Chains A and B, each alone.
Chain A
């Protein structure tokens, strides 16, 4: 349980560098939504989640369902850094025969569920959470979602279900980076007032700056104290965070940096 913010910030820089190197080596991948989710993932794996990298299926673990299944670079870099598998695997990302599939896959130690079609994860998280309650298991279930993703109607089926069953062991985290594949999220299909939407669906809502460790950690602590309803963190983030020419740019949703762009990006992340 690390609360040394300075250390966490250094980690975030390292992760961002490795994310970009990984995507560059693959020649394809999703930098924008990976870079926006770095602090969220670090807060979960470094601070909040109960997990054992040497025993990924440990019964007492907390669960993370990565519903935005395209942010494999961020997820895989995170898991490698916490010791789930060797960093030597990262250059094999998206390559034939590698465990590091293009979208999140259980071949990778630490991954709970294959995703890649948006709008699936929250229902699955709810199912795990219902099972935890039936078994009187105090593990929590986290679900990382994209903001564009929640335009999928199935998300709201799941949102209604979680509050109906008072699943206070579910924490949804929306990486609200405001940009989706073809433009600004709120131009394509407006999500606002997003907090009110979740509240009206019976959720406890916490809005944070999704790159601010203090706020993320506080929100995750609050989630554990929250009882009787599911909890959602709306993490306001910046797509492509940390690389000036990627920030807020939809063109970097799903494109690999070339050698020059990688060099330029890495220079900003020291």
Chain B
């Protein structure tokens, strides 16, 4: 069993270390820095921390202004309040103005758990992905969250990171390669490719084990970057395995499932299945109960893989 750490902790701790090295890094907040772990930065660098109170729109605009002077503002909130409440500011102030502001959001997906649907953001990838200029990342574990935070600091432009409240299994090591826009294959296979982000990567690995028992050899890809999507890895998977299952803790529409499908249909069309929340809101419950209820578990991925593989033989002929 892997060690379990919430990815928000990786972000929070790394940002403090970065703050010691780079005095241009600042944090602008909307009263959820305790939950996002930006609080660690606040505690060490109170002079570089600015709370806007509960005012997400003001947070985004203020950060866009601070970026004028070469500061690198990290703004943070729950994914739902950031991406839904302040969407117009994210679109215009950050993306249209191409400001060097980093957007860090925790509390996405059904694993937010007991707080229920209002806090369980299931549309952040979709909302962010359609905006020009921004990059969208979902670290698979605490280690990737740390690496992403460093890259966010180093590279110019608006960037979005979804972090988790729930503990995620630590799947990667300090010396593993992590590059925005480059997927990591965690397990090779020939019969089907399971592409996931966040918690669905571990579920995909577990699904690969289930499939192995049925004699199916599954490839597993950690697609930590939703935008820009790694086209090469997807095309290769389609060519080499002939079927793809995409899993994400997000609505089935508009997020990673869609991003992968957009590549597949234009390159190597192969059967695909999606494991995601199917056009409904979440509810209160434990993360595990909700993952099961919404069909986001390894068994769901394995079933989806079999369906996709079964459709490989279907030949679609044009007239």
A161 touches B69 (CB 8 A): no
Is there a chain B Cβ closer than 8 Å to A19's Cβ?
A: no
A160 to B57, CA, bound (A): 13
A113 touches B52 (CB 8 A): no
A226 to B53, CA, bound (A): 25
User: Can you name the residue of chain B whose Cβ is closest to the Cβ of A112?
Assistant: B68
Interface size on A, residues (CB 8 A): 33
B96 touches A114 (CB 8 A): yes
Is there a chain B Cβ closer than 8 Å to A135's Cβ?
A: yes
| A130 in contact with B65 given A123-B58, A158-B58, A161-B58 (CB within 8 Å) | yes
Q: Which residues of A contact B50 (CB under 8 A)?
A: 130, 165
Is there a chain A Cβ closer than 8 Å to B181's Cβ?
A: no
0/1 string, B45-59, CB within 8 A of A gives 1: 001101011010110
What is the distance, in angstroms, from B94's C-beta to the closest C-beta of chain A? 11
A121 to B61, CA, bound (A): 8
| Majority DSSP secondary structure for residues of A touching B | helix
What is the distance, in angstroms, from B81's C-beta to the closest C-beta of chain A? 13
Q: Which residues of B contact A63 (CB under 8 A)?
A: 68
| A130 in contact with B96 given A120-B89, A157-B52, A161-B53 (CB within 8 Å) | no
Q: Which residues of A contact B64 (CB under 8 A)?
A: 113, 123-124, 127
Is there a chain B Cβ closer than 8 Å to A2's Cβ?
A: no
Q: Contact partner of B97 among A106, A154, A165, CB < 8 A?
A: A106
Q: Which residues of A contact B35 (CB under 8 A)?
A: none
What is the distance, in angstroms, from A30's C-beta to the closest C-beta of chain B? 18
B93 touches A131 (CB 8 A): no
Q: Which residues of B contact A116 (CB under 8 A)?
A: 92
Interface residue ranges, A against B (CB under 8 Å): 63, 106, 112-117, 119-132, 134-135, 137, 153-154, 157-158, 160-161, 164-165
Interface residue ranges, B against A (CB under 8 Å): 28, 47-48, 50, 52-53, 55, 57-58, 60-69, 71, 73, 88-89, 91-93, 96-97
Provide a sorted-by-A list of 26 A–B residue pairs whose CB atoms are within 8 angstroms.
A116-B92, A119-B57, A120-B57, A120-B61, A120-B88, A120-B89, A120-B93, A123-B64, A123-B65, A124-B61, A124-B64, A124-B65, A124-B93, A125-B65, A126-B61, A127-B28, A128-B66, A130-B50, A130-B62, A131-B71, A154-B89, A157-B53, A157-B55, A157-B57, A160-B53, A161-B62
